[in-house]
Structure 1
């Protein structure tokens, strides 16, 4: 009798996880991502160890427009994106510095980065996510998708696979429309 109660308890604990896992989509370590607002498709790295998403940008500056803070930047993805982009500032993100990136004289263990909201399309799913802006030109992937965005996409990441979702094919509907 005691064994049956234990088995029943274990099953009841696992049932919610089974239903929750069925709602998730499996993606690979790298995926093609479209940014419809910029008419752009990029290869991105999906990184569960990073919290926020990061987009490669250069010449980033903040300015005021109608009393609100905005950000002006250039995409640092290729030479074709030579025009400035302006978006409202969502917030400032504090990104922890790595040991090799820490300057003891500066006495800051983080880097402040501007964050904007963008619609991203991965596979057939489009979501509005927060993206911090930083120069990623030294990295292989101009876009890093962190755990906050992965959660919004309902993503499970299989690091042994790449480009599982195929080319982006989203409709104009975002998660805000659902």
Structure 2
């Protein structure tokens, strides 16, 4: 009987999704993230409770370039980031407002935010993720990485750790299949 129980347990461990981590990378609650193409290292908060990723930006303006929608913004991180950044607009997301953020006069329980694609390096993993742009200057971390982006990083988040992946060390053109 003990042999059957042990055999059943080992079979369950071999099933996809039930293994104890497999090829996932363990990240801490906070990690260093390099914004590739912008050449900037920022501290990020990894938040499994948030669906999307958010980057701190200000003076966000949408415009057209060759018939395509683009967005121009400044990083709202510190005074050193005074040059505009321009990226193609991937889409516009509707973010649910928190109860304290809801304006009954506006009659909307969501806010619209522009979304761009951005290459992010955490540890040795380089991934293209979507980030919405909003002013996060009131928050400690200028970049929030939500569950959709964490899936792309094959991430396991251990909230007892901080900066577990170390400084970003992505090699150019070493991006893993998306």
- Whether TM exceeds 0.5 here: the answer is yes
Aligned to 1:33: 33
Alignment of 1:104-143 (within 5 A): 104-143=104-143
Q: What pairs with 1:98-177 in structure 2 (closer than 5 Å)? A: 98-173=98-173, 175=175
Is the partner of 1:29 in helix, strand or coil? strand
Distance change >3 Å, CA 82–CA 45, structure 1 → 2: same
1:10 and 1:61 mapped to 2: Cα distance?
56
Deviates more, 1:165-174 or 1:143-152: 165-174
Equivalence for 2:50: 50
Task: Please say if residues 57 and 76 of structure 1, whose CA atoms lie closer than 8 Å, have aligned partners that are also in contact.
Answer: yes
Structure 1 residues 99-156: Cα deviation after superposition (integer angstroms, max 9, x where no partner) = 0000111111111100000100001111000010000000000000000110000100
Q: In the TM superposition, what is the alpha-carbon distance from 1:22 to its structure 2 partner?
A: 1.6
Task: Output the CA distance in 2 between the equivalents of 1:160 and 1:96.
Answer: 28
* 8 Å contact kept, 1:127–1:153: yes
Is 1:127–1:174's contact at 8 Å kept on the other side of the alignment?
no
Q: How many residues align?
A: 177
Distance in 1 separating the partners of 2:174 and 2:152: 11
Corresponding residue for residue 22 of structure 2: 22
Q: Give 3-state SS (helix, strand or coil) of 2:149's partner.
A: helix
What is the TM-score with the length of structure 1 in the denominator? 0.92
Note the residue ranges of structure 1 that are not aligned, 5 or more in a row: none
CA contact (8 A) 1:73 1:85 kept: yes
Residues 119 and 174 in structure 1, CA contact (< 8 A), matched pair in contact too: no
Q: 1:177 offset after TM fit, Å?
A: 5.7
CA distance in 2, matches of 1:15, 1:163: 30
Shift of 1:62: 0.5
